[in-house]
Structure 1
Amino acid sequence: MANVLTLDDVNVDGKTVLLRVDINSPLDPATKSFLDDTRIKAILPTIQRLVKAKVIILAHQSRPGKNDFTSTLGHARELGRLLGRPVKWTDDIHGDKAMAAIESMENGQLLMLNNVRMDEDEQSIKDDPAASAETQLVQKLASVADLYVNDAFACAHRSTPSIVGFSTLIPCVAGELMGNEIRKLDMALETPVRPCLAVLGGVKVDDSIQVADNMLRGGIADELWPTGGVANLLLDLAGIDIGDINRNFLKNELGDHWKTTVAQARTLMSDYGSKIHLPVDVAANIEGNRVDLKVKDLPIEAPLFDLGIESILYLSAAIKRAGTIVLNGPAGVFEITDFAFGTVEMLNACAESSGYAVMGGGHTATLVSKRGIAHKMGHVSTGGGACLDYIAGRPLPGVVSLEESALAFSMDITTTVDSV
């Protein structure tokens, strides 16, 4: 349980507040218009808590070198549209123009700074909170602010100046989104209703194996149901020859992590084999056609693109009888209609289950949102890598920074530290 200060612990009225958010959004390549504003909507509850403050918003969009690396002007306009009130914008981050814009602010106003990843230090300084605190970005913004609010859960696994640099300079608290993410994930990890299922897939196999390891060894998960690339790897390690084409794909995806991931997966299967439910059939892509076949009929020199129908039925039934489901990653190559069946049925089962279903961020959250079933889930995380790291038991620098600030400043602004 994270011991951090929240907005309940501070009086923000009349204060100047630095608000770090993650509203990094998919943009149309041609027009740069928003294809999905989910992340912008997710920060609205925090902004509503700050209506009597001067709010300086720090945000990013993509990273240098990518096609969707842009200014945050469009984000300011979209946020203003959703709020129904103006959001000022400056094409500066901490220079004279930004400082002047902050100086002219009045209570209740919102100012969005330009893309924080246009700052060189934000890009170059990583995993060094002390160096982050010494950057111009942090020093100058901290000098004009009373409080820092971190609502960027999706960036909480990053150790960059805008995420970890303020903890020793000004009081830092969790926003509504950050606090909600921690609470909802902790419900699944600390007090899961039994049985608790870990349903892990996708191509980030190394992350999924670490999540599985943490959940099984920690007594969190009662069962592991691997899908996607995770299932293919575990089948291969169980003595089912998945074929060179699939094995080489996994090796290429894992790169330098191949050996360590295989070693961890082998140990996991040795220690918890009875709790791991491997697929009994798979779907291969043979010249563009879906062909379902039993795993005993492998190998086949064709890519395995989905769970087989029988395995999907078994998984769906298990999800529907579960008390808690932690799901991350698609079951197959869902972008191709013929191979979306496993992913669609898996998500439908979560929506129909009476259990508490937690959906990891990234592709999983996007799929749930596009299918219009987010409201039927217990929690849909806004963080991809951050959610995976948290479930895997890895400390999130953004949360650690908030905890350190709570220790440093709690006596100055409150007599109690609120555990989110």
Structure 2
Amino acid sequence: MTDFRRIQDAEVAGKRVLVRVDFNVPMKDGEVTDTTRLEAALPTIDHLVERGAKVILLAHFGRPKGQRVPEMSLEPVCQPLADLMGVELGFVDDIAGDDAASAVAGMQDSDVLLLQNTRYEAGEEQNDPAFARALADLGDLYVNDAFSAAHRAHASTEGVAQLLPAYAGLAMQREIDHLVAALEDPERPVIALVGGAKVSTKIDLLENLVKKVDILFVGGGMANTLLFAQGVDVGTSLCEKDLVDTAKLILVAAEKSGCKLVLPSDVTLAKEFKPNPETRVALSHDVADDEMILDCGPQTVVDLTQAMDGAKTLIWNGPLGAFEIEPFDKSTVSAARAAADRVADGSLIAVAGGGDTVAALNQAGCAQEFSFISTAGGAFLEWMEGKSLPGVEALRETAQTDSETPVA
């Protein structure tokens, strides 16, 4: 997707710029425990401050469901953010009311102001036109820098973008550009690694990927269901036997699309799911009735790394085994390190995303070595599923025709 407006295209000096950011940060006892998402917003904030914009930050925190829940206030974000920015930060305990309007009216060029949790207003998640209009009244331009919230058609992610000239922030651009490069216009061959527990949570993802990639490797509990659909006895393994017909359709769709769908050739087995139980490695079709598949086997990892050698682009979502418990993290860790090595030598572009995926790559110690890691969760998955994201669609050039005139 290249037909969207970028913040670099906007003339922002002296303008009131509403910036949707992701400040849904981890907190404990009212203090921010991880500033990663605050840091991700800095390039866009700095870009606007350096060019003399009045920067008004919009964000949500938690799920207050339209109520003013004190524990979900954004005020604790202020000091950590100010420390990171190195400049003074204003905060107003209001979102689109008189106090917010007064605070915005008092801003000087290059000032930064954080408004209260947008989800304190019921109209936020309802994408209420009146609330979107009230937000738009505070600004001249709108910038969305929160890809992680772009799959929600909320007032601060989609509604206001229909009322003001709307642009993608620098973090949003980086996310979209990498995902387009990985899935829409990739260097081929493309291999996708998809893991996780259940096929039922990733039907749309698998159906989309078989049409987009050259090789699709499925691991984790999902692979058990596909193996079972091929007539393989998977013992006591996690397996969605009621989805056999769906699994068969995915296998047929892959064949029709010319996508090579690969399942584990060997597996690591145990009779109990606990740390460091007695295990054995066997071929995937040699599982005893009282055994469960908990990880891919070593030959499967060799096959995977060889497939990476022949690929130019890798897309990864989900662990390949029960990586939370040793020794069932071996295939995920080995495959992740193999991918990182190929990124390092310039032979592979590797893009990964999803909460469990990020945790697994961090466990492998190589998340920072991938070409791009998305922390967007649901938005990343929906993009991979081929779905339209309202917050992204609102930034397209074609979506801007009705929002050219700034709201007074």
- Is residue 382 from structure 1 mapped to residue 375 from structure 2 by the alignment? yes
**Amino acid in structure 2 at the alignment position of 1:386:** A
Contact persistence 1:62–1:69 (CA under 8 A): no
Pick closer, same or farther for the CA change 1:68–1:347 going to 2, 3 Å.
farther
Pick closer, same or farther for the CA change 1:246–1:100 going to 2, 3 Å.
same
Contact persistence 2:30–2:71 (CA under 8 A): no
In structure 2, the residue matched to 1:359 is 352
- Is residue 141 from structure 1 mapped to residue 135 from structure 2 by the alignment? yes
Give the 5 Å matches for 1:16-415: 16-28=16-28, 31-51=29-49, 52-64=52-64, 70-123=72-125, 125=126, 132=127, 134-136=129-131, 138-203=132-197, 205-206=199-200, 208-217=202-211, 220-243=212-235, 246-247=238-239, 261-262=246-247, 264-269=249-254, 271=256, 275-287=260-272, 288=274, 289=277, 291=279, 292-353=281-342, 354-369=347-362, 371-403=364-396, 404-409=398-403
Gaps of 5+ in 1: 126-131, 252-257, 414-420
* Greater relative contact order (Cα < 8 A, sep 6+): 1
1:320 Cα offset (Å) = 3.9
Pick closer, same or farther for the CA change 1:312–1:26 going to 2, 3 Å.
farther
In structure 2, the residue matched to 1:416 is none
In structure 2, the residue matched to 1:255 is none
1:144 Cα offset (Å) = 2.0
Contact persistence 1:290–1:338 (CA under 8 A): no
Structure 2 length as normaliser, TM-score? 0.87
1:139 Cα offset (Å) = 1.7
- Structure whose residues are more often helix by fraction: 1
Contact persistence 2:333–2:363 (CA under 8 A): no
Question: What CA distance in whole angstroms lies between the structure 2 residues aligned with 1:303 and 1:222?
Answer: 30
Question: What CA distance in whole angstroms lies between the structure 2 residues aligned with 1:360 and 1:246?
Answer: 23
1:302 Cα offset (Å) = 4.5
The CA RMSD over aligned residues, in Å, is 2.7
1:11 Cα offset (Å) = 0.7
1:398 Cα offset (Å) = 0.8
Question: What CA distance in whole angstroms lies between the structure 2 residues aligned with 1:186 and 1:15?
Answer: 31
Contact persistence 2:267–2:284 (CA under 8 A): yes
What SS does structure 2 have at the residue aligned with 1:337? coil
Structure 1 length as normaliser, TM-score? 0.85
Contact persistence 2:20–2:146 (CA under 8 A): yes
Contact persistence 2:229–2:248 (CA under 8 A): no
**Amino acid in structure 2 at the alignment position of 1:229:** G
Question: What CA distance in whole angstroms lies between the structure 1 residues aligned with 2:331 and 2:337?
Answer: 10
**Amino acid in structure 2 at the alignment position of 1:293:** A
Deviates more, 1:70-79 or 1:261-270: 261-270
Gaps of 5+ in 2: none
Pick closer, same or farther for the CA change 1:35–1:234 going to 2, 3 Å.
farther
Tell me the matched-pair count: 392
**Amino acid in structure 2 at the alignment position of 1:88:** G
Pick closer, same or farther for the CA change 1:73–1:210 going to 2, 3 Å.
same
Contact persistence 2:59–2:118 (CA under 8 A): yes
Question: What CA distance in whole angstroms lies between the structure 2 residues aligned with 1:69 and 1:372?
Answer: 33
Question: What CA distance in whole angstroms lies between the structure 1 residues aligned with 2:364 and 2:329?
Answer: 12
What SS does structure 2 have at the residue aligned with 1:86? coil
1:380 Cα offset (Å) = 1.3
Pick closer, same or farther for the CA change 1:222–1:92 going to 2, 3 Å.
same
What SS does structure 1 have at the residue aligned with 2:44? helix
What SS does structure 1 have at the residue aligned with 2:400? helix
Contact persistence 2:188–2:313 (CA under 8 A): yes
**Amino acid in structure 2 at the alignment position of 1:351:** A
1:351 Cα offset (Å) = 0.6
Pick closer, same or farther for the CA change 1:290–1:197 going to 2, 3 Å.
farther
Q: Share of identical aligned residues, percent?
A: 36
What SS does structure 2 have at the residue aligned with 1:60? coil
1:234-280 Cα distance to aligned partner (Å, 9 max, x none): 112121122355125x86xxxxxx58854642433553687111101
